[in-house]
A and B are shown apart, each in its own frame.
Chain A
Amino acid sequence: MIEIRWHGRGGQGAVTASELVAVAAIKEGKYALAFPEFGAERRGAPVRAYTRITTETTLIPRTPVLEPDIVVVLDSGLLGLPDVLKGIKKGGLLLVNTKAKPSELRSRLGCSSDVKVATVDATGIALETIRTPIVNTAILGALVRASNVVRLDNILEAVKERFPGRVGEVNVEAVKRAYEKVEVG
C-alpha cells in the first residue's frame, strides 16, 4: 500500500489533488481511497488530505495517514509546521512546491538521506499556464515523475474529466510542464 499525505492551504486544491491521484489509480484497476482531514475549510488555512493506493487488499483503515510513503507540500511556507515531515517512511519521498533545488531544501530542513527530496516551482508553472496560483495540477505532474505512483496518461485523463473544456487544457499543460521540470535529489 502506498500512503500519501498532502499539505496545502485552503484554495490551493490539495483535496482535489488527493482525489485525482485516486481517480487515476482506480482507472488502473487499483483500489484507492482519498479523503481530506476536516478542519475549518477557510481559504488560506492549512489543510491536509490523504490518498491510499493498493492492489493487495480492500481492507484499508479509514484513519489519517501517520506514516506516509509520500509527503506532498503545496505551499513551502508550511514546512515550518511541526507535523509536515512527521512520520515519513524510510525510502519515502518529500515533494515540495518551491523554487529551491532539492539539495538546498534537504540541507535547510536537515532531511535524512533515507528520504528522497523532489522540488518543482509549481506556483510559477500554474501562473504561466492556468494564470492563477492554484498549484494542485502542476504538483501532480511532478508527483507522477518523482514517484511513478500512477501513470501520466491516467492523471491527464483524470484532470480532463474533472475540468472540462479550456480549463482542462491549461491544467493538462500545467501537469505536463511540471512533469518535465521536477528535480529529484
Chain B
Amino acid sequence: MAQQLLKKKLALSSNYAVAYAVKALDVDVIAAYPITPQTHVVEKLSEFAANGEINAEMIHVESEHSALSAVIGASAAGARVFTATASQGLALMHEVLHIASGMRLPIVMSIATRALSAPISIWNDYSDVMNARDTGWVIYFTSSAQETHDTVIQAYRVAENPNVHLPVMVAYDGYIMSHTVEPVEVVEKEDALRYAPKKVTWPRLDPDNPVTMGTITSPDWYYEFKYQQVMAMREALKAAEEADRVFGEMFGRNYGVAEGFMLEDAEVALITMGAFANTAKVAAVEARKQGVKAGVLRLRLYRPFPKEKIVEMLSNVSAVGVVDKAISFGAPVEGPVFNEVAGAFYSSDHRPVLASFIAGIGQRTVLVDDFVSMFKKLQEYAKTGRGPGESIYVGVRA
C-alpha cells in the first residue's frame, strides 16, 4: 500500500509543481511574462494550454505591469486567475500590486524569489518579496516542491474566502527550489475543486448589476477602505489556518502557519523561511550532538505575520536568531524579518535574547556548518544574556 502511494509521486521542480496546481484548480485566465527563474511555470502552463489539458485563456503580455493588470481585469469580471513572476518583474509590478489588494481581488501569484539589480543577479534571495511586503498581499514562503504545490491550492481557498478577498503570493526560492527536482504527489483536479470550489464570492463587474471599482476616493472614505484591508488581513490568518487544516483532512498533508522543529526542549532557536528550513533542521540535529539544545521555527505565512503563534512557540527559548535573506538598508537592524520578530516579542512578557543573521544574499551558499555556527553563537548570547546588537553577515568578505 505504502509502495502504491509512493508510486503516484511525480518528479517535479517547484516551478512545475506550481503549474500542476494551477492546472488542477481550473484557472480561467493566466497572464504572465517570463523571467528567470520563474519561466518554467509559464512554459509548462503554455504547454498544458497548447495540449488542451487546461481550458485557460493564456495572455502573453509585454511586461509584468501588464500581466498583473490583465489578471486584475479578469478577476474583476469574475474569472479565477493566476500569474507568476520574480525579481525585477515583481518590482515592475509594484504599483499594480497595491491596486490588486485595494480592489480586494482574489488573485494568486507565484514568485520564484530572486535578488534585485544592480549589480544584476539572476540568483536567489528574498529582496523582491521583501520589497512587496506592505502591498496588502497575503504572502507564503514554502520550503519544498510538495508544499509549493499544496500552498498554491490553499491560496485560492484563502483568497476567495468571503472574509478575506485579498490577493495571495506563494514565494519559493529561485533555483534552490524552482530548479530542484523532487517527489510531488499531485492533487487531482476533481479533489482540488472539491477543496476550492469555483464560485465567484467577490463583487464583480456585471453589466446587469453595474458597479464601479478602484475609482477616486476622497478623504472622507479612503481611510475606511484601508481599514477594511487591515481587517481582511487579520481575517486572513484565521482563513489560512482553516485552509491548512481542511487541506490536511482531505489530503493528509498540512504545514501550519509556522512549523516547529525540536522546539519542545530547545534553549536556542533559529527562525528561517523557505529553502533554508531543511538545512537548518539538519544543523539543529548536528548542533545537539555538539551539546547545543537547538531548534528551528520555520515561518510559512509571512503576511499576515503570525506573531502570537511565534511568541508562543518560542516561549521556552532563551536566545532566538532570525535568518534573513534580504537586507533592509538603514533599518535599526538590517534583517527585515528580525525587526518584525523583535516587534512581536516587545509586546510579550517573554523576552529572549535576539540576534539577526543575514545569509544567502544573491545565493551565496550557506552550509549546514554555517547554521551550526549560528546555533553556537546563540548559545553564547543566551549565556551572557546579551545579543550582538547589529546584524551578523554570514559568509561575507568584509
The interface of chain A, by Cβ under 8 A from chain B, is 19, 22-23, 26-27, 29, 31-36, 38, 59-64, 66
Across the interface, do A38 and B275 meet the contact criterion of CB distance under 8 Å?
no
CA distance A130 to B306 in the complex (A): 55
Contacts A23-B11, A29-B7 given; does A63 touch B183 at CB 8 Å: no
- Can you name the residue of chain A whose Cβ is closest to the Cβ of B277? A62
CA distance A49 to B11 in the complex (A): 16
Across the interface, do A62 and B179 meet the contact criterion of CB distance under 8 Å?
no
CA distance A46 to B82 in the complex (A): 37
Q: Which residues of A have CB within 8 Å of B366?
A: 63
Contacts A31-B183, A38-B123 given; does A62 touch B365 at CB 8 Å: no
- CB A6 to nearest CB in B, in angstroms, measures 13
Q: Which residues of A have CB within 8 Å of B283?
A: 61
Residue B328 lies at the interface, judged by CB distance under 8 Å to chain A? no
Across the interface, do B179 and A61 meet the contact criterion of CB distance under 8 Å?
no
Q: Which residues of B have CB within 8 Å of A38?
A: 123, 175, 179, 363
CA distance A13 to B3 in the complex (A): 31
CA distance A35 to B123 in the complex (A): 14
Specify which of A23, A34, A36, A61 is in contact with B278 (CB 8 Å cutoff): A61
- CB A158 to nearest CB in B, in angstroms, measures 8
Q: Which residues of A have CB within 8 Å of B10?
A: 26
CA distance A64 to B367 in the complex (A): 8
- CB A22 to nearest CB in B, in angstroms, measures 5
Q: Which residues of A have CB within 8 Å of B176?
A: 35, 62
CA distance A29 to B2 in the complex (A): 9
The interface of chain B, by Cβ under 8 A from chain A, is 2-3, 6-7, 9-11, 123, 173, 175-177, 179-183, 275-276, 278-279, 281-283, 285, 363, 365-368
Contacts A26-B11, A29-B7 given; does A61 touch B181 at CB 8 Å: no
Majority secondary structure, B binding face: mixed
Q: Which residues of B have CB within 8 Å of A22?
A: 11, 181-182
- Can you name the residue of chain A whose Cβ is closest to the Cβ of B367? A63
Contacts A26-B11, A38-B175, A38-B179 given; does A64 touch B365 at CB 8 Å: yes
- Other than the given A31-B183, A62-B176, 17 more pairs (CB < 8 A) read A26-B183, A29-B3, A32-B182, A34-B11, A35-B175, A35-B179, A35-B180, A35-B181, A36-B175, A38-B123, A59-B278, A59-B281, A61-B278, A61-B283, A63-B368, A64-B365, A66-B367
CA distance A171 to B10 in the complex (A): 21
- CB A10 to nearest CB in B, in angstroms, measures 15
- CB A146 to nearest CB in B, in angstroms, measures 22
- Can you name the residue of chain A whose Cβ is closest to the Cβ of B283? A61
CA distance A34 to B181 in the complex (A): 5
Contacts A23-B11, A38-B363 given; does A62 touch B281 at CB 8 Å: no
Across the interface, do A33 and B182 meet the contact criterion of CB distance under 8 Å?
yes
CA distance A63 to B280 in the complex (A): 11
Across the interface, do A62 and B11 meet the contact criterion of CB distance under 8 Å?
no
- CB B72 to nearest CB in A, in angstroms, measures 33
- CB B27 to nearest CB in A, in angstroms, measures 25
Across the interface, do B181 and A62 meet the contact criterion of CB distance under 8 Å?
no
Across the interface, do B179 and A33 meet the contact criterion of CB distance under 8 Å?
no
- Can you name the residue of chain B whose Cβ is closest to the Cβ of A158? B11
Across the interface, do A60 and B278 meet the contact criterion of CB distance under 8 Å?
yes
Across the interface, do A62 and B278 meet the contact criterion of CB distance under 8 Å?
yes
Q: Which residues of A have CB within 8 Å of B275?
A: 62
Q: Which residues of A have CB within 8 Å of B368?
A: 61, 63
Across the interface, do B278 and A19 meet the contact criterion of CB distance under 8 Å?
no
Q: Which residues of B have CB within 8 Å of A61?
A: 278-279, 282-283, 367-368
Q: Which residues of B have CB within 8 Å of A62?
A: 173, 176-177, 180, 275-276, 278-279
Q: Which residues of B have CB within 8 Å of A34?
A: 11, 180-182
- CB B318 to nearest CB in A, in angstroms, measures 25
- CB A130 to nearest CB in B, in angstroms, measures 22
